[in-house]
Amino acid sequence: MIQLLKDKSNIMQAFWLGFGRLSSFALAFVSAAILSRFLSKEDYGTYKQIMYLYASFSLIFMAGLPETLTYFLPKLKKEEQKYLVLQFEIIFIFLGLLFSSCLYFGSSTIAEILNNPTLADALKIYAPVPLLLMPTFTMESIYMNEHKSHYQAIYLIFSRFMVLCGITLPVIFYQASCQVALHGLVFSSACMLIVALFLIAKPYKGYHCQRSHLNIRDVIGYSIPLLSADFALMLFNSADQFFISRYFGEAVFAEYSNGFIQFPLATMVSGSVLTVLIPMFSQANTTKKLNEAIRSWQNAIRKTCLLLYPILVFCFFFATEIVTFIYGKNYTCSAIYFQIILISNLFNIYPFLPLLLALKKLKVYSSFYFLSALSIWVTEAIGIRLFSSPIAIACISITNTILLVVVFYLYIKRELQTTVFTSRILLFLSKVLFHSLLTASLIYWSTSAFQESYPPLITLLMAFLLFYLVLVASSRLFGLNYMSILVHLFNSFTNKNHGRSN
């Protein structure tokens, strides 16, 4: 275990970030499972609407600063890093205060827009949370730069556990209401801030602040395109949630929000790879280094595919059992939303931002997102008129998502006169997908006879075990090696790998 902590390779940093996010999402699902069972659909829908508002507007108030810090920290000395982190902390406190004020004083207007009168009082209770959480956003950049991302993983697990206890225990033992859950969330956020500030200061203990050669114009020049891109991303991601909230009510929004979520493992792996690749591409100032970064990315694509495609396919076939196990029988109808979004995960798990950073094309990044945001709002508004169905809105949403991913990679291919997704890689992805579909359909058909005879958890465990046994056993027929992604971790445990891997 000590060797695993000391391993500073890029893949291990991605592993720790992914592990922390996986644990965080797992605990988040526990929270959602408990709240789904104890709160009414209306109360739970209101709670999820608040989470939607925070997730959407935090992209704006972060102003692209976490990515900016990740980009510039490797370029500075320790004393200069401390000064830069302090400046970013001050900015995050100011932005958090502004965010919280907007939620508190704009609560009535937001409640009216989303057609939910109970949302106004709930937002006033929740308002302090952005102020408490935004100063913690520098931590991931700091520990990624230090090659000690296991600290970030530990913090993510701790913070999510605090949230789990803060919102569920009062609901279970005191009163099952949205307001009680939100009061607990405020308290847990305060505890998270205290721990985060200690961890943020830890790497710079004993160092004096020193103003760097870094010009504020450099920081602003880098962050503004990211801010515009995040604003476009917010518009893109918030459209379907807005339409379903406003036109179908809190209960339907609760059903939708429990199903139409990015698959946690996909989000974590993609985010971890992105965090590792950004510093690599930021230092790619020659053709040779850029080619090395692209090769590392292609290697990450293969590993990501081997890890995620089988799981995504399995979840698609057993979506009803998964949703029923997590949220209860009242939310069985959420399975269709889960299946719809799993399709988009097959396309959007490979981050394209690092290459756009290397090409200095952030304006293109934001422009494409603005155009896609316009497309998704227009097409979903038309969908409301034509179909008046939340399922139709979800389908329109993933269609726009897939088109956006395709457009980005076509643009990158044109700019580089090469492609990350070579014919060899596309063939590899197709083989993994076909093999996974074949295996999952076989297991689903084989287990269908006893799916209704056993609880969802027993069905899932048996099916998942059989799925991977058949998948691994038949992998040689397709020339695939699903166990390869575990080799690096095994070597780290056994101290057999002394090199640095990308």
Nearest CA to 89 among 127, 142, 154, 51?
142
Lowest mean pLDDT among 6-10, 80-84, 110-114, 291-295: 6-10
Query: Can you give the pLDDT at residue 469?
Result: 92
Span 283-320, pLDDT tens digits: 666 667 767 777 877 888 888 888 889 999 999 999 98
Nearest CA to 457 among 313, 322, 312?
322
Which residue do the tokens 């998948």 mark? 471
Instruction: Classify residue 279: in a domain, yes or no.
Output: yes
The number of beta carbons lying within 10 Å of the beta carbon of residue 382 is: 11
Q: Is 496 exposed, middle or buried (0-12, 13-18, 19+ CB in 10 A)?
A: exposed
Instruction: Classify residue 140: in a domain, yes or no.
Output: yes
Query: Can you give the pLDDT at residue 314?
Result: 94
The average confidence (pLDDT) of the chain is 80
Of residues 134 and 209, more confidence is placed in: 134
Span 462-473, pLDDT tens digits: 999 999 999 989
Query: Can you give the pLDDT at residue 382?
Result: 92
Instruction: Classify residue 361: in a domain, yes or no.
Output: yes
The yes-or-no verdict on residue 34 having pLDDT over 90 is: no
Query: Can you give the pLDDT at residue 275?
Result: 63
Q: Provide the residue range defining the domain that includes 182.
A: 2-494
Instruction: Classify residue 242: in a domain, yes or no.
Output: yes
Query: Can you give the pLDDT at residue 497?
Result: 42
The yes-or-no verdict on residue 21 having pLDDT over 80 is: no
Query: Can you give the pLDDT at residue 378?
Result: 93
CA distance 231 to 19: 28
HSE, CB side, 13 Å, CA atoms: give it for residue 18.
18
CA distance 95 to 190: 17
Among 65-74, 105-114, 231-240, the range of highest mean pLDDT: 105-114
Instruction: Classify residue 461: in a domain, yes or no.
Output: yes
Nearest CA to 213 among 373, 11, 75?
75
Region 444-453: mean pLDDT is: 78
Among 56-70, 154-168, 301-315, the range of highest mean pLDDT: 301-315
Span 342-389, pLDDT tens digits: 998 888 877 776 667 666 676 777 788 788 889 999 999 998 888 888
Taking CA atoms, 377 is separated from 243, 373, 384, 438, in Å, by 9, 6, 11, 36
Sign of CA dihedral 279, 282, 283, 288: positive
Band the pLDDT of 459: cuts 50, 70, 90. confident
Instruction: Classify residue 500: in a domain, yes or no.
Output: no
Query: Can you give the pLDDT at residue 500?
Result: 38
Query: Can you give the pLDDT at residue 438?
Result: 95
Instruction: Classify residue 401: in a domain, yes or no.
Output: yes
For the chain, how many structural domains are there in total? 1
Q: What percent of the chain has pLDDT over 70?
A: 81
The radius of gyration of the chain from alpha carbons, rounded to an integer in Å, stands at 23
The yes-or-no verdict on residue 1 having pLDDT over 60 is: no
The yes-or-no verdict on residue 338 having pLDDT over 90 is: yes
CA distance 419 to 106: 46
Instruction: Classify residue 50: in a domain, yes or no.
Output: yes
CA distance 127 to 56: 15
Provide the CA 12 distance to its chain's centre, in angstroms.
19
